[in-house]
Chain A
Amino acid sequence: MGSLTVVGTGIQLGAQLTPEARVAITEADEVLYVVTDALVALWMERLNPRARSLQDLYAEGVSRRRTYDAMADEIMAAVRRGRDVCAAFYGHPGVFVDPSHVAIRRARAEGYPARMLPAVSAEDCLFADLGVNPGAAGCQSYEATDFLVRRRAVDPSAALVLWQVGIVGRLDLAPEGDRSRLPVLVEYLLEFYPPEHEALLYEAAPYPACDPVIEDVRLADVASAPVGRLATMYVPPSERRRPDAAMLARLGIPETHLR
């Protein structure tokens, strides 16, 4: 009987692959992978010579939704052939990745054992590289275009992470990035934060020999900052939320316990 294990390669080549994910890749009958870097692709095929890319399913003019369905179809076809299949995705396989979830759901619905293994996501790298604790004041995390079009409410007392600010407003791949809509993003953020508030533009290092790119800029200056295609923006809290006295009393928490 076939099975499916979905793994993530982590962000940084090699060093962030978990031991469990490595075994899932090396011991699979078939490995189907989607990665963003040619060197990672080469490395995958060395880990398991039965690995092949699903990249060819991307085609110009084909909606990404259809492409993801085709990826899930391809993964499931291998599972139905009775193979132990490993599907490998860049970063964390369940974060900003859709076909991984679709394939898991389909496999389980058809009675095949299917499991997703956690992995190192870009957000994990961000917390480590910026030295910030999302638990300290809470953390809001949005894809930048989604953040704007839904006019997401911002709590300035919690941290804010915005993904894909380097292509905000673009629905296609924009391989060179597109900063033309950044002024719209800045304008919206200034409804919640003062213009001099700090923003960190962050790009994780894709290779172990490299350092992350971190730019510290005023929020008002983000539109003219060097925002890379893969950049994520981190906005620290700009204010502190006071505990609610009535809620503290209800919970039986003395106010002295809170800093």
Chain B
Amino acid sequence: MRGEHRGLGEFLIELGENPGQLRRYRKDRRAALADSGLSPEHQQLLLSGDVKRIQAELQREYPDAKVFLLPGWDDVMSA
């Protein structure tokens, strides 16, 4: 999935950082992905819209990253 293709995380960060690119993506996802430099597998993954699979792929891409805490009830009780 990698090699000559750009990373999924890199693409998502760039999309979040560049409102013009994000606008183009939202207008025509397939065209934006075709120009993205992502592997065909990653393009399909993003087209699927499956957040869990996207996060799993990101976890593979950044195996050392620590993630995903969710506030619990006691957070709210003390607020």
Enumerate chain A interface residues (CB-CB to B < 8 A).
Answer: 12-15, 34, 36-39, 41-43, 46, 53, 55-56, 58, 63-65, 68, 96-98, 101, 143, 145-146, 163-164, 167, 170-175, 203, 205-211, 213, 229-230
Contact = CB atoms under 8 A, between A and B. Distances in A.
Contacts, number: 120
A64 B58 contact: no
Contact of B12 (A58, A207, A230): A207
A43 B75 contact: no
Contacts of B17: 14
B75 A208 contact: no
Nearest to B48: A210
A38 B72 contact: no
Given A101-B79, A208-B16, 12 more contacts: A14-B17, A38-B59, A38-B66, A64-B75, A68-B75, A145-B73, A146-B73, A163-B76, A164-B71, A207-B12, A210-B46, A230-B70
B29 to A, nearest CB: 8
B75 to A, nearest CB: 6
B22 A208 contact: yes
A54 to B, nearest CB: 11
A143 B70 CA distance: 12
A55 B65 CA distance: 11
Given A38-B59, A43-B16, A98-B78, A164 B66 contact: no
B69 A173 contact: yes
Contact of A41 (B51, B66, B70, B72): B66
19 contacts: A12-B16, A14-B13, A36-B69, A37-B68, A39-B13, A41-B65, A43-B13, A56-B66, A58-B69, A143-B73, A143-B76, A146-B73, A146-B76, A164-B73, A170-B73, A206-B51, A208-B12, A208-B16, A208-B25
B54 to A, nearest CB: 7
Contacts of B19: 15
Classify the interface of chain A: helix, strand, loop or mixed. Answer: loop
Contacts of A42: 9, 13, 62, 65
Nearest to A38: B65
Contacts of A145: 73
Contacts of B75: 64, 68, 96-98
Given A208-B25, A211-B49, A213-B51, A39 B12 contact: yes
A119 B70 CA distance: 18
B26 to A, nearest CB: 8
A-B pairs, 3 with minimum CB distance: A14-B16, A38-B65, A145-B73
